[in-house]
Structure 1
Amino acid sequence: MKKLLLSAAILFSGLSLQAQDSLMMRNIYDEALVNGQGYENLRYLCKKIGPRLSGSPNAQKAVEWGKKLMEDYGFDRVYLQEVMVPHWVRGAKEQGAIIDGNKKIPVPICALGMSIATPAAGITANVIEVKSIKEMQDLGESVIKGKIVFFNRPFDPRYIETGQGYGAAGDQRFVGPAEAAKLGAVGAIVRSLSPALDNYPHTGGTLSAPGTKMIPAAAISTMAADKLSGMLRLRKLPLIKFWFKQSCQTLPEVKSYNVIGELTGTDHPKKVITVGGHLDSWDLAEGAHDDGTGIVQSAEALRILKALKYKPKNSVRAVFFMNEENGTRGGLKYAELAAKNKEDHIAAIETDEGGFVPRGFGFDASPEVVAKINKNWKKLFEPYEADRLVKGEGGTDIEPLKETVPNITLISFLPDSQRYFDLHHTAADVFEKVHKRELELGTAAMASLIYLIDQHGLK
C-alpha cells in the first residue's frame, strides 16, 4: 500500500509540475502576442538606424540603442563588452557587365565583404565558368591565369532545410576567390548563395589566403549568373568577356562592443543561460531578418520573463554580439571573457536564421540528452507548433563557447527556413519583410525554452 501511495504521489507531482510548466508557457505566449514590443523595436533598429556593418557609425548607434533599450527595461545588469572589429567599406555602387563582342550587357553584382577594389577603370577579362573549386584546380594555372573565374554552383534544391543548401554551396564564396588567386586569376565572380531566381546579388564575407595576393571578388545575381552561363555555352569563349568595377577597401580596426543585459539568478547567480543574435548587419539593406529579428527576440525574451515577475534561478543574459558577418570578433571575445571570469554557462541559444514561423530548436548535445528533452518538453511545445526538438548545432556567435566553457549545451532557434536565403545578405532584407506575429511566436518559443532550462536543466 505504501509503495502504491508513493507511486501515486510521484505521478501526481509529475503531472502538477507539467501543468505548472504548461501554464507558464501559456502566460509567456499571451504576453508575447498581446503586449509584445519586439516588432516596434525592430522597426526602430531598421528604419532609424539601418545598415550597421562593423566599424561603421551606424554600428555604434546600434550599440547605444541596444544598451538604452535594456536599461529602460530595467534588467538587473546592463553593460558593454569592448571588442576590436574590422572596418570594411563598400564605396561606390558596383558595376558589372557581360561583354558580347562590342556590346555591354549590364548585370547586377555586389562586392563580397572583405574583398579588394578593382583598378579605377575596372577589370575586363575572359571568363572561365566552374561548378567547384576542384574543377578550377583541375583546369590548372595554364587555363586560369589572367582570367575571371565564374563560380556557378547553385543551391541543391533537394535539401529541405535551405541552410544545408547554403552550407553545401558556400565554399565557392568563402574561399573560392582566394583559391582562384593562387592560380593567377585576375578576379572572381560568384553566383549568389540563394535558391531564389531573381536579380538581387547577395554579398557575404570572403577569406584571403595567407601569402597570396587578393583579387577583386563580387557576387552576381542568380538570374544574371544563368544569363552569363547560357551565353558561354552558346558562343565561343573568346567572344565573351566580363567587366566589373568596385571601390571597396579595408580601413584600420575600430573599437566596438557586445551589448549585454542580464536578469540575475536568485539561486545560482554564477550559472548562466545566454540567448543572443548579432547586432551588425551587411550594408546593403536594413539587416531585418539577418539579424535584427534575433536581436529584438533576445531582449524581448527577457522582458517577457520580467513582465511576468518570473525570478530565474540562474542568471539569464541577452547578448547582442558584434561582428558576426565579417570576423566573429564579438563571439570570440564573449567566450574568452566567459573563460577568464570562470563563468558556468548552462546553455547558449542563438537566433540567427530569421524571424519566420518557429518550428523548434536544434541541440548540440548527445542523442540521449536530445531524447530526454523530447520526452519531457515536446508535448509542452506541441500546442504552439514549435515542437521540433532535434540534434543540431549552435551558431556562429556562440560556437566559441564550446572551446572555452566546459559542459555547455549550444542551441539554435529553428524557424521555417524556406524564405530566409531569398533575403539573406541582400538589399531586400528590410523591415517590411518581417511578419509581426511570426516574430512574436518565435520570441515566445525562446522565452519558454529559457524558462524550462532554468527550471529543470538539460542533463
Structure 2
Amino acid sequence: MSRIIIPIIFAIVSLSSFAQNDVKEDSIILKKIYDTSLLNGKSYSWLDYLSNQIGGRLSGSVNAQLAVEWGEKELKTLGIDKVWLQSVMVPKWTRGVTEFAYIETEPGVTTNVPICALGGSVPTPIGGIKASIIEVKGLEELSALGKEQIEGKLVFYNRPMQADLIETFRAYGGCVDQRYSGAAEAAKYGATGVIVRSMNLRLDDFPHTGAMSYGNLKDADKIPAVAISTNGADLLSSMLKLNPKIKFHINMNCRTWKDVKSYNVIGEIIGSEFPNEYMVVGGHLDSWDLGDGSHDDGAGVVQSMEVLRIFKEIGYKPKRSIRVVLFMNEENGLRGGKKYAEVAKNKGENHVFALESDAGGFTPRGFSFDCDDANFNMIEGWKPLFEPYLVHYFAKGGSGADIGPLKKDGIVLAGLRPDSQRYFDYHHAKNDTFDAVNKRELELGAATMTSLMYLFDKYGVK
C-alpha cells in the first residue's frame, strides 16, 4: 500500500508546485502587460486621432473609409505578420441638414425641442409634418388604442430606461424596442410619424440616435422616426397633460442610398505552436454621426489594436494565431461581423476564442462569457490574477454583437465589461466625444483585454 501512496503524494506535490509556478509566471506577465499599457500605451493617442482627426464614422461615409485606411496603416506599423482588408457591402444612410422640431400650443406659439432622426428613417415631406400627439409607454399600448385614436397622429413613445436596474444594459434592453420597431408598429395604425424618448438614464438635452427597422413595410407606408432628448420628452409629456390638443412639428431630410463597399480591417500574429487555432479580439470601426464615436466604439477599436502592440512590446510570442478585427457596420446592420464569420466558415478556420470591447472606455470591471461550464470553471480560476487590478466581475452571459456570428460548439466568446453607469449618457449622442474618455480608464481596459487573451492563448479552451 505504501508503495502506491508515496508516488501519488509525490505527484500531488509536483502538480501543486507546477500550479504555483504557473500562477507566479502569469502574475509576472500580467504585471508587464498592465505596466506597458499604463506607462507606454498607444490606445489614447490612437483614439485622439481617430476621434479628432477623422470623427464620426457612419457606415458608407467618407469618414468610415478614412478610418479603414487609418486602421490598416497603424496595424502595419506594428510589424505583425499579416494585415489585410476584408471587403463587405454596407448600408449607406445620410442624415442631411440638422433636424428641427417644435411644440405648438396654439397657432404662432411654439417651443423648440432637441430631436434627431433615427438611423434608417425616411425623411419628412418638404416643409415637414405637423400633427397631434398620442403618448404611449410601449408597443403593446397601440393595439389597445386602435386605428381610430392613432391615425393621422404622431405616436410619442415615452417609456424611460428603468433606473433601479443596476445593470444599465438591462435597462436599455427593456425599452429599446420602441426605437427599433416603434415606427413599423405605429404605421400599421395609420400614424404619421413617431417620436421616441432617447435611451438615456440622465436628464439632458442630447437626443440619442440608433438603428430602427420598418420590418416588411412597403416604401409608401414608411413614416418618419425621431428621437427626442430626455428633457424634451419630459417637457412634451407635461405639456400634453395640460393640453392634449397641442401639436408637434418635425422637419428632416435624411436619405437611404444603395449599399456601398467597405471593409473589415484585420491584423494577425501567427501562432508559434497552433497556427490553425484562431483567437480574435475586436471592436467596431463604424459609429453614429452625431459625435465622434469615442466610447462607441473608438475605445474598443484602439484597445483591441493595443492587445497586439503590447504582445510585441513585451516580447510575448503567442502559441495560437491572434487576430485583431476592426469590424465595419455594427451600428446599422452587423454586416462586418457576419461577413467575417462567413469567410471563416467557408475557409474552415478553427476559431477557439473571441473577445469584443463595445461597452465604452470606462474602468474595466471584468468580463461576461458565452461558454460551457467546463470553460467557465477554468476562467473563474483566473480571477485571483485580476483582483490586484480591481477586476472582479466574471459572469456567464453575452459577449459582443460582432463576434456573435462566430458562435459554435467549442468556442468561447467574451465581452469586456467596463463600469456601465455613465455609458448611456453618451451612447449614440452628440456628446460621445474624445473629451468624455479618461486616459487611465481606457488603458486599464486595454491591459485587461490583453491579459485575458494571454491566458486563453497559454491554456487554450476545454
TM-score by length of 1: 0.98
Q: Which residue matches 2:70?
A: 65
Structure 1 segments, 4+ long, off by >6 Å, are: none
Secondary structure of the residue aligned to 1:121 is coil
Q: Which residue matches 2:226?
A: 218
- Any conservation in 1 of the 2:184–2:217 contact (CA below 8 Å)? no
Q: Matched residues in 2 for 1:385 and 1:316: separation?
A: 26
Q: Matched residues in 2 for 1:127 and 1:367: separation?
A: 51
Q: Which residue matches 2:3?
A: none
For residues 177-201 of structure 1, the C-alpha deviation after alignment (integer angstroms, 9 at most, x for no partner) is 1110111101000000010100000
Q: Which residue matches 1:304?
A: 310
Alignment pair present for 1:440 and 2:443: yes
Alignment pair present for 1:430 and 2:436: no
Equivalent residue for 1:289, pick from 280, 287, 295: 295
Secondary structure of the residue aligned to 2:249 is strand
The CA deviation at 1:209 is 1.9
Equivalent residue for 2:201, pick from 195, 203, 216: 195
Letter in 2 for 1:457: G
Alignment pair present for 1:315 and 2:321: yes
After alignment, is 438-447 or 364-373 more displaced? 364-373
Secondary structure of the residue aligned to 1:231 is helix
Letter in 1 for 2:18: S
Q: Which residue matches 1:46?
A: 51
Cα RMSD after superposing both structures:
0.9
Q: Matched residues in 2 for 1:11 and 1:185: separation?
A: 69
- Any conservation in 2 of the 1:373–1:458 contact (CA below 8 Å)? no
Letter in 1 for 2:126: A
The CA deviation at 1:387 is 2.4
Secondary structure of the residue aligned to 2:174 is helix
The CA deviation at 1:401 is 1.1
Q: Which residue matches 1:80?
A: 85
- Any conservation in 2 of the 1:110–1:219 contact (CA below 8 Å)? yes
Secondary structure of the residue aligned to 2:421 is coil
Unaligned runs of 5+ in 2: 1-5
Secondary structure of the residue aligned to 2:160 is coil
Letter in 2 for 1:64: E
Q: Matched residues in 2 for 1:56 and 1:3: separation?
A: 65
Secondary structure of the residue aligned to 1:16 is helix
Q: Matched residues in 2 for 1:312 and 1:161: separation?
A: 34
Q: Which residue matches 1:331?
A: 337
Q: Matched residues in 1 for 2:215 and 2:75: separation?
A: 40
Letter in 1 for 2:457: D
Letter in 2 for 1:197: L
Letter in 2 for 1:280: D
Unaligned runs of 5+ in 1: none
Q: Which residue matches 2:239?
A: 231
The CA deviation at 1:251 is 1.1
Q: Matched residues in 2 for 1:7 and 1:117: separation?
A: 71
- Any conservation in 2 of the 1:367–1:391 contact (CA below 8 Å)? no
Q: Matched residues in 1 for 2:217 and 2:368: separation?
A: 38
The CA deviation at 1:368 is 4.4
After alignment, is 58-67 or 407-416 more displaced? 407-416
Q: Which residue matches 2:38?
A: 33
Q: Which residue matches 1:183?
A: 189
Q: Which residue matches 2:126?
A: 120
Letter in 2 for 1:72: T
Q: Matched residues in 2 for 1:98 and 1:422: separation?
A: 24
- Any conservation in 1 of the 2:55–2:293 contact (CA below 8 Å)? yes
TM-score by length of 2: 0.97
Q: Matched residues in 1 for 2:308 and 2:234: separation?
A: 46
For residues 179-237 of structure 1, the C-alpha deviation after alignment (integer angstroms, 9 at most, x for no partner) is 101111010000000101000000001001213421000000000000000111122x2
Alignment pair present for 1:174 and 2:180: yes
Q: How many residues align?
A: 454
Letter in 2 for 1:169: C
The CA deviation at 1:284 is 0.5
- Any conservation in 1 of the 2:353–2:411 contact (CA below 8 Å)? yes
Percent identity over paired residues: 52
